[in-house]
Chains A and B, each alone.
Chain A
């Protein structure tokens, strides 16, 4: 056995020990530490394979006997899981301390991590599917263990129902691939002809797309992610939906490769819809965790834009740009995992300190919780996609891919890519809008509730976890060029890029990220010194002569009102104004407004009603009367006889 095998073995053993260790309340912390250590080792093993160490374990096989292995792509996803898991487990130690059913939740987190790692390192269909189902069910259990009121039960039901209906696509796709021997021999599927390949690709898009939260298959995501315990939300949003993207990447770029052009355009379209739709609905949320969940949909969309561009380039024969777009998508997978985990963990810390995270009733937390608040602000700048943080690096690379795809050849492809580039720009602006709103309402201004004014900064691991992730945002933003060449080597047709801290992409003016970081920090500091030579006079806020009163404080709905009015045709808000008047005098006016989720009202609602009607018809047939069933049998027999007689069967 090589050193790497040992490393993986020790990591798995630690994770297993971590799952059974919390036998007593005392050892829960030890268990989390063991799990974190195990995940860190697993992540290191993955990173080693990503950066060039030989693959570990077996290759892909079509049989049903369990096999595991780590190759470059698996290594990348294991490292991503570890980057999120280690801080999340660190956070969980403080977050879960004293929570009801703490020990069970600790064990479940180990099971969840094991399932995630199993999916990405599975090398046969049975392990993959087993890990896949566990990955869906364990977080559902973790949610129900902690809270089980009716609303949460409903959210979990929707989550499990939708991901299982969609998950059928994963089963069909994997079993079809195994049937044709395409897992072990990636040329085998294409040899079967277009029909089989189309079946596999469409079922993969539905199956993995549902789990990844691609619109319009996303409806479970904004329901399930907000109700989970925060460290589980961080893993769900940061990693679980990425593992679904891992499956999609395997199918589109390996098992069913070369994917036809329509598949690339379909991924591009789904990505654009998810990016724009996710960002738009994130903006309209007024609960922080729901906002974060919608923003995950947006970011999965951005990854899909990169993947779609890569497929389009590959089908046009441009291997260099196909590899760059592939690298952009993977880089965004990692970046989003980091900053979304950061934001979810910080949200958990805020929730722990002040209770409800209704954005209109928080305010001023930056003064009360400077560490967590500061880390949250770093995450906000990263997710808003501004230099010099990591979100900008991957969005810049995705922009480059889309713009170069728009250069043609081909009118249709060029226009599609240009529309995607414009959509991505609008998405970035919408995301910035949403997170300025969220961070302003949470962190700045005056406290809007008594508990908020008394909020206490969280201590220990909870604080370190968010700061660690904020540090990752800065480092990944400064040196993306050290990672991207390794990611491009994972593309079906690998291409090289110079391994330097800056991103030196052909056909661009290059992204010298370390110098940008240095320039911004140094210049801001210089200007700060220039400005700060005189003492500032403390004054009340002027606000054009108005007094800044809490009752007049701006709300989430007020802040987005201009965009809401501009996009009224898309958002279709509902308004209700009730006026109570007595004897011609208006006594009170009540206003109620909401922005319904269009996909729920226009797509899922009718689908659910149709299903209920179908069930009603079925119930009428299933009358429970023995005579009716005897009649059905007789009718079936007669029908079969008639068919046999006419020669239609037999």
Chain B
């Protein structure tokens, strides 16, 4: 069981992750009445980029060349912390939620230095916006994790997923608040509308895409894979911790698949229905999520509905 979960963690994270943004793009196109790209389009792009040569802008330092590798490595390690079907396979890395947050932050910081290295204004613009939103996003992420850790009494992701198993948890208002707060985290971490627009080709509006502008070839492939793997991490976490799931490992796997499909559809619908927010309004949205999480905590501490 644990071996199967480990295999899904690794193979799913590495190989299936690009399917998630691909599916969202495809669904979004359908919803908007276009034919759109196939869900497999991200794989084609990765294959194409992997075959191309690298570009080395002058003058840059090792920071520029190391950043994609560091981001991919941090994201790769984070994959191994995400529980699958309620099981956290033992890779020797534990399964702590805050370690996962730290690894995601490591990747973000590695990439944030790139803008300064190339001196490109568009990269710096994206970086400074990303870091601004991160101030609020990280607070929200920690609060959402704290709410999900309440029933388990632990920040271990396996225990948190186990505590959310079954329908009993849904009679707690705290869990509803946690799910809503984590929904905002999903939008922020995956860089989707209304916070960021992953499809934009207008450099002036870019957030997450900005620092990627200088890269080519395998570097860009690594960066794009990391973005896809980040989708996988955040969406699987959302499904494992905050969406309904029941029963043993097999049943939970089915729930996970259904949850991922539902989340992809949800993101596609949100992106279709919702325009991108003004960048300066997004922090208010995230701060609102923080308040919601605190309300959830208050309801839990006051004894819930009981």
Which listed residue, A422, A433, A445, touches B290 by the CB 8 Å rule? A422
Task: Tell whether, in the assembled complex, residue A384 and residue B109 are in contact, meaning their CB atoms are under 8 Å apart.
Answer: yes
Identify the closest chain A residue to B149 (Cβ): A403
Asked if A544 is an interface residue, CB under 8 A from chain B, the answer is: yes
Asked if B93 is an interface residue, CB under 8 A from chain A, the answer is: yes
Which listed residue, A385, A509, A515, touches B95 by the CB 8 Å rule? A509
Task: Tell whether, in the assembled complex, residue B93 and residue A538 are in contact, meaning their CB atoms are under 8 Å apart.
Answer: no
Identify the closest chain B residue to A445 (Cβ): B119
Task: Please judge, given known A-B contacts A512-B94, A516-B93, A534-B54, whether A429 and B218 are in contact too, CB under 8 Å.
Answer: no
Alpha-carbon distance A473/B253, docked complex (angstroms): 41
Task: Tell whether, in the assembled complex, residue A548 and residue B120 are in contact, meaning their CB atoms are under 8 Å apart.
Answer: yes
Instruction: Tell me which residues from 361 to 402 in chain A have a Cβ below 8 Å from any Cβ of chain B.
Output: 364, 366-367, 377, 381, 384-387, 392, 396, 399-400
Q: Quick check: which of B4-12, B60-68, B230-238, B254-262 contacts chain A, the rest being far away? A: B60-68
Task: Please judge, given known A-B contacts A410-B301, A541-B58, whether A444 and B153 are in contact too, CB under 8 Å.
Answer: no
Which listed residue, B57, B73, B158, B293, touches A539 by the CB 8 Å rule? B57
Q: Quick check: which of A227-235, A492-500, A523-531 contacts chain B, the rest being far away? A: A523-531
Task: Please judge, given known A-B contacts A508-B154, A544-B203, whether A429 and B146 are in contact too, CB under 8 Å.
Answer: no
Asked if B305 is an interface residue, CB under 8 A from chain A, the answer is: no
Which listed residue, B120, B129, B157, touches A509 by the CB 8 Å rule? B157
> How many pairs of A and B residues are in contact by the CB < 8 Å rule?
278
Identify the closest chain B residue to A424 (Cβ): B142
Q: Quick check: which of B18-26, B38-46, B133-141 contacts chain A, the rest being far away? A: B133-141
Asked if B251 is an interface residue, CB under 8 A from chain A, the answer is: no
Task: Tell whether, in the assembled complex, residue A386 and residue B53 are in contact, meaning their CB atoms are under 8 Å apart.
Answer: no
Give chain A residues whose Cβ lies under 8 Å from the Cβ of B120: 541-544, 546, 548
Asked if A559 is an interface residue, CB under 8 A from chain B, the answer is: yes
Task: Tell whether, in the assembled complex, residue A511 and residue B94 are in contact, meaning their CB atoms are under 8 Å apart.
Answer: yes
Give chain B residues whose Cβ lies under 8 Å from the Cβ of A428: 105, 138
Chain A's nearest CB lies how many Å from the CB of B275? Answer: 19
Task: Tell whether, in the assembled complex, residue B124 and residue A554 are in contact, meaning their CB atoms are under 8 Å apart.
Answer: yes
Give chain B residues whose Cβ lies under 8 Å from the Cβ of A560: 128
Give chain B residues whose Cβ lies under 8 Å from the Cβ of A562: 128-129, 132, 279-280
Alpha-carbon distance A308/B300, docked complex (angstroms): 23
Alpha-carbon distance A351/B269, docked complex (angstroms): 54
Which listed residue, B53, B99, B203, touches A511 by the CB 8 Å rule? B99
Give chain A residues whose Cβ lies under 8 Å from the Cβ of B66: 524, 528
Main DSSP-derived SS at the B contact region:
helix
Instruction: Tell me which residues from 104 to 161 in chain B have a Cβ below 8 Å from any Cβ of chain A.
Output: 105-106, 108-109, 112-113, 115-124, 127-129, 131-132, 134-143, 145-146, 149-150, 153-159
Interface size on B, residues (CB 8 A): 92
Chain A's nearest CB lies how many Å from the CB of B80? Answer: 8
Instruction: Tell me which residues from 255 to 293 in chain B have a Cβ below 8 Å from any Cβ of chain A.
Output: 279-280, 283, 290, 293
Asked if B306 is an interface residue, CB under 8 A from chain A, the answer is: no
Alpha-carbon distance A152/B68, docked complex (angstroms): 44
Task: Tell whether, in the assembled complex, residue A436 and residue B53 are in contact, meaning their CB atoms are under 8 Å apart.
Answer: no
Q: Quick check: which of A18-26, A78-86, A411-419, A588-596 contacts chain B, the rest being far away? A: A411-419
Chain A's nearest CB lies how many Å from the CB of B95? Answer: 4
Identify the closest chain A residue to B108 (Cβ): A432
Identify the closest chain B residue to A518 (Cβ): B92
Chain A's nearest CB lies how many Å from the CB of B194? Answer: 16
Identify the closest chain A residue to B203 (Cβ): A544
Task: Tell whether, in the assembled complex, residue B218 and residue A520 are in contact, meaning their CB atoms are under 8 Å apart.
Answer: no
Alpha-carbon distance A421/B58, docked complex (angstroms): 42
Alpha-carbon distance A560/B142, docked complex (angstroms): 23
Task: Tell whether, in the assembled complex, residue A436 and residue B105 are in contact, meaning their CB atoms are under 8 Å apart.
Answer: no
Task: Tell whether, in the assembled complex, residue B213 and residue A544 are in contact, meaning their CB atoms are under 8 Å apart.
Answer: yes
Alpha-carbon distance A421/B98, docked complex (angstroms): 12
Task: Tell whether, in the assembled complex, residue A512 and residue B92 are in contact, meaning their CB atoms are under 8 Å apart.
Answer: yes
Task: Tell whether, in the assembled complex, residue B154 and residue A507 are in contact, meaning their CB atoms are under 8 Å apart.
Answer: yes
Give chain A residues whose Cβ lies under 8 Å from the Cβ of B60: 541
Give chain A residues whose Cβ lies under 8 Å from the Cβ of B297: 406, 414-415, 418
Task: Tell whether, in the assembled complex, residue A565 and residue B69 are in contact, meaning their CB atoms are under 8 Å apart.
Answer: no
Asked if A572 is an interface residue, CB under 8 A from chain B, the answer is: no
Asked if A174 is an interface residue, CB under 8 A from chain B, the answer is: no
Chain B's nearest CB lies how many Å from the CB of A541? Answer: 4
Q: Which of A509, A534, A548, A554 has the most CB of B within 10 A?
A: A509
Identify the closest chain A residue to B145 (Cβ): A403
Asked if B96 is an interface residue, CB under 8 A from chain A, the answer is: yes
Task: Tell whether, in the assembled complex, residue B113 and residue A539 are in contact, meaning their CB atoms are under 8 Å apart.
Answer: no
Task: Tell whether, in the assembled complex, residue B294 and residue A418 are in contact, meaning their CB atoms are under 8 Å apart.
Answer: yes
Task: Tell whether, in the assembled complex, residue B298 and residue A563 are in contact, meaning their CB atoms are under 8 Å apart.
Answer: no
Alpha-carbon distance A430/B138, docked complex (angstroms): 10
Task: Tell whether, in the assembled complex, residue B69 and residue A528 are in contact, meaning their CB atoms are under 8 Å apart.
Answer: yes
Contact with A along B89-103 (1 / 0, CB 8 A): 000111111110011
Alpha-carbon distance A445/B158, docked complex (angstroms): 43
Identify the closest chain A residue to B137 (Cβ): A429
Task: Tell whether, in the assembled complex, residue A407 and residue B98 are in contact, meaning their CB atoms are under 8 Å apart.
Answer: no
Asked if B72 is an interface residue, CB under 8 A from chain A, the answer is: yes
Give chain B residues whose Cβ lies under 8 Å from the Cβ of A502: 94
Give chain A residues whose Cβ lies under 8 Å from the Cβ of B53: 534-537
Alpha-carbon distance A511/B101, docked complex (angstroms): 12
Alpha-carbon distance A436/B159, docked complex (angstroms): 35
Alpha-carbon distance A491/B81, docked complex (angstroms): 32
Asked if B168 is an interface residue, CB under 8 A from chain A, the answer is: no
Task: Please judge, given known A-B contacts A436-B131, A511-B94, A516-B99, whether A552 and B76 are in contact too, CB under 8 Å.
Answer: no
Asked if B15 is an interface residue, CB under 8 A from chain A, the answer is: no
Give chain B residues whose Cβ lies under 8 Å from the Cβ of A515: 92-93
Which listed residue, B55, B131, B218, B298, touches A411 by the CB 8 Å rule? B298
Chain B's nearest CB lies how many Å from the CB of A339? Answer: 15
Identify the closest chain B residue to A502 (Cβ): B94
Asked if A425 is an interface residue, CB under 8 A from chain B, the answer is: yes
Asked if B214 is an interface residue, CB under 8 A from chain A, the answer is: yes
A residues at B contact (CB < 8 Å): 364, 366-367, 377, 381, 384-387, 392, 396, 399-400, 403, 406-411, 414-415, 418-419, 421-426, 428-430, 432-433, 436, 439-441, 443-446, 502, 507-512, 515-516, 519-520, 523-524, 526-528, 530-531, 534-544, 546, 548, 552-554, 558-563, 565-566
Q: List 10 A-B contacts (CB under 8 A).
A: A386-B106, A408-B300, A422-B290, A432-B105, A436-B116, A440-B117, A524-B73, A526-B73, A531-B54, A536-B56
- Nearest first, the 5 closest Cβ-Cβ pairs linking A and B are A440-B116, A509-B96, A509-B156, A523-B73, A536-B54
Task: Contacts A364-B59, A446-B119, A512-B94 known; list 18 others, CB within 8 Å.
Answer: A381-B109, A384-B105, A426-B139, A436-B127, A443-B116, A507-B155, A507-B156, A510-B94, A520-B70, A520-B77, A528-B69, A536-B54, A541-B57, A543-B123, A554-B124, A561-B128, A562-B279, A563-B135
